[in-house]
Amino acid sequence: MTTNADSRQPIKPATGKLGILTPGLGAVATTFMAGVESIRRGKSSPIGSLTQMATVRLGKRTENRSPLIKDFVPLASLDDLVFGAWDPIPDDALTAARKAGVLEASDLDRVAEFLAAIKPMPAVFDNKYVTRINGSNVKTGKTKRDLAEQLRQDMRDFKAKHGLDRLVIVWCASTEIFIKHGAAHASIEAFEKTMDANDDDIAPSMLYAWAAIMEGVPFANGAPNLTVDAPALVQLASDRGVPISGKDFKTGQTWMKTIIAPGLKARMLGLRGWYSTNILGNRDGEVLDDPASFKTKEESKLSVLHTILQPDVYPELYKDFTHVVRINYYPPRGDNKEGWDNIDIVGWMNYPMQIKINFLCRDSILAAPIVLDLALFSDFAHRAGMKGIQEWLSFYYKSPMAAPGLQPEHDLFIQQTKLKNTLRHLMGEDQITHLGMEYYP
């Protein structure tokens, strides 16, 4: 179902150009595109990106082999990337970036012409699923299948127009309202029937995912919507040999959680409660101000602690802790989110202690390198013959997709080990267990 990691096959080289298409041309997508162009021009550095900056240790420690990931694994080069997007709001990437207010005018001016040339294709969009946005740049069609077919045509046209070798899609569009798995998502037959019947169970994001898989294009989902995380699409991706991953970029507060919670558990310190609240004032914050969209986000954020702390295994430490997550839309703050965490922990002889975190972060600055890494790794996975859910990319997600019946892995450090071991394995190197063999005769 997931990968072909056990039957390694030759990896196709990253020749030619790679198109990165983003449904959504808002704060995250434009910050990502502006950043890549700025890096290509030698004006910025790719801070936050594993594909560009991280190394991977190979062999024994004594061998001193730690190449950059990008020198070890055949990834598309930044110079070979071409960007495109869909958005119901017709603003080009420069206008959208200016409105998003993430990057300084001087940083945008440097890449202004480049961004202005990126104009969003008409989106598959329905205000029922994202109530706070209204846009005019929207496709029309008789059925949902018609709309999805138009997306497939867009992909083919984009590829031909820019002379691209391959495409990947990273969902950078707004969070849709909460939808539960249902009969419509259970099999591809049911899914396609529901598309034909224009049923509400199929959200726009699912149409992008279906279209991508049908076109053999890897799909990564940066929002918490179900999207590609539906049994029908997981099966389709596996059948058609397409890598998929999701959900919800792990950037600010949840990223912190997946660092601190494993630390508490490693020390066998107890948890009584974790209260997280945020203020943010960007368009994402406005969309999440709608309770139906927030519910999707909340589900994604809440699952993390339980999976990491395993209350069933350690009831004395982690049974019944209180976990509250709040997001408050506060326009003056723009994209510069402020998050507070109050963590009530318990130590030796049941003595209570508290940890307080005040994280002044920049949402899109943290998300942009994740978009880049997901695009490059998804493309690499495809060339390596991997298909279906890419669990090794869990590192990047708040609510990682896992094979049916498996718990997702949330611990950032296990996720990192899994990511690097997958790269080692695919490239024919030994996996690293950190077992000090020198202690054994």
Ligand X SMILES: NC(=O)c1ccc[n+]([C@@H]2O[C@H](COP(=O)([O-])OP(=O)(O)OC[C@H]3O[C@@H](n4cnc5c(N)ncnc54)[C@H](O)[C@@H]3O)[C@@H](O)[C@H]2O)c1
**What residues line the site for ligand X (CB under 6 A)?**
23-29, 86-89, 100, 123-125, 130, 133, 135, 172-175, 204, 222-223, 248-249, 251-252, 282-284, 287, 363-364, 366-367
Please name every residue paired with 279 in a beta bridge, in sequence order, or none if there are none: 328, 338
Residue of closest CB approach to ligand X: 26
Instruction: State the nearest-atom distance from the C-beta of 120 to ligand X, in Å.
Output: 7
Query: For ligand X, which is the closer residue by CB, 141 or 273?
Result: 141
Query: For ligand X, which is the closer residue by CB, 123 or 389?
Result: 123
Instruction: State the nearest-atom distance from the C-beta of 248 to ligand X, in Å.
Output: 5
Query: For ligand X, which is the closer residue by CB, 155 or 172?
Result: 172
Query: For ligand X, which is the closer residue by CB, 120 or 270?
Result: 120
Instruction: State the nearest-atom distance from the C-beta of 301 to ligand X, in Å.
Output: 10
Instruction: State the nearest-atom distance from the C-beta of 28 to ligand X, in Å.
Output: 3
Instruction: State the nearest-atom distance from the C-beta of 241 to ligand X, in Å.
Output: 26
Contacts of 135 (CB under 8 A, 6+ apart): 87, 88, 89, 90, 123, 125
Query: For ligand X, which is the closer residue by CB, 290 or 363?
Result: 363
Query: For ligand X, which is the closer residue by CB, 135 or 231?
Result: 135
Instruction: State the nearest-atom distance from the C-beta of 170 to ligand X, in Å.
Output: 10
Instruction: State the nearest-atom distance from the C-beta of 8 to ligand X, in Å.
Output: 32
Query: For ligand X, which is the closer residue by CB, 61 or 128?
Result: 128
